[in-house]
């Protein structure tokens, strides 16, 4: 069971955050920014595509990135790849929330495999945005580096003793990063 921060706790947390919104649709970008203002987010930055978003990310170092998946010339997947490949480990582990209408299994798996922190399907709701922000900011998952993957630990449950065979035996080692 996920426990979300109480609204007063979230307001205190959100007031300290800087969030970069990367969205090519001016209407959706404005809607996301207005929702963030209503949540009393401290600093809201916006960009009209992944290239502009990447430039603003490198300049402003936001705490969280909200990005659409499908944009030109750089899409949200490429932006996510750039963030996860950043030389600075604190920037490489920035939470990225993919906000997209692409909810097919392949799209979700692609984002997951690139290291997305959260996935939010359009049309978005204030509750959906709020819950993803709380998860990203108040309940961050540890980052792992394994063969072919760098991103937040995909497991959300408390670690429990295994009942049965260890299916990872012989798999490439996983390194938990203490950032």
Q: Which domains does the chain have, with CATH numbers?
A: 7-142 (3.40.50.2300)
Please, are residues 19 and 43 in contact by the beta-carbon 8 Å criterion? yes
How confident is the model over 1-5, as a mean pLDDT?
A: 49
Taking the C-alpha atoms of residue 63 and residue 139, their distance in angstroms, rounded to an integer, is 14
The pLDDT score that the predictor gives to residue 170 is 54
E strands, the chain, where? 18-22, 43-47, 64-67, 96-100, 118-121, 143-146, 149-152, 175-177
Structure confidence at residue 1 as a pLDDT band (50, 70, 90)? very low
Please, are residues 71 and 22 in contact by the beta-carbon 8 Å criterion? yes
Q: Are strands 64-67 and 149-152 parallel, antiparallel or unpaired?
A: unpaired
Question: Edge to edge, what strands does the sheet with 64-67 contain?
Answer: 43-47, 18-22, 64-67, 96-100, 118-121
Query: Cα angle vertex 119, ends 156, 75, to 5°?
Result: 135
Q: pLDDT digits over 28-49, tens only?
A: 999 999 999 999 999 999 999 9
Query: How many contiguous H segments (helices) and E segments (strands) does the chain have?
Result: 7, 8
Cis peptide before 128 (omega within 30 of 0): no
Please, are residues 95 and 62 in contact by the beta-carbon 8 Å criterion? no
Structure tokens at 151: 């991103």
Structure confidence at residue 146 as a pLDDT band (50, 70, 90)? confident
pLDDT at 91 over 50: yes
Structure tokens at 42: 């401290």
Please, are residues 33 and 20 in contact by the beta-carbon 8 Å criterion? no
Q: pLDDT digits over 156-179, tens only?
A: 655 555 555 555 555 555 555 555
- In sequence order, the 6+-apart residues with CB closer than 8 A to the CB of 155 are none
Q: Are strands 18-22 and 64-67 parallel, antiparallel or unpaired?
A: parallel
């Amino acid at each position: 069971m996920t426990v979300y921060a109480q609204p007063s706790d979230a307001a205190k947390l959100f007031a300290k955050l800087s969030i970069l919104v990367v969205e090519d649709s001016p209407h959706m970008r404005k809607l996301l920014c207005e929702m963030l203002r209503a949540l009393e987010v401290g600093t809201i930055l916006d960009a009209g595509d992944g290239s502009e978003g990447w430039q603003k990310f490198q300049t402003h170092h936001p705490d969280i990135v909200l990005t659409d998946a499908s944009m030109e010339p750089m899409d949200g997947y490429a932006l996510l790849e750039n963030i996860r490949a950043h030389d600075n480990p604190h920037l490489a582990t920035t939470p990225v929330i993919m906000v997209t209408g692409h909810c097919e299994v392949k799209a979700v798996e692609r984002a997951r495999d690139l290291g997305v922190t959260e996935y939010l399907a359009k049309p978005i709701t204030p509750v959906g945005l709020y819950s993803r922000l709380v998860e990203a900011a108040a309940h961050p998952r540890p980052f792992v580096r394994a063969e072919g993957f760098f991103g937040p630990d995909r497991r959300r449950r408390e670690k429990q003793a295994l009942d049965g065979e260890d299916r990872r035996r012989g798999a490439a080692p996983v390194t938990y990063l203490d950032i």
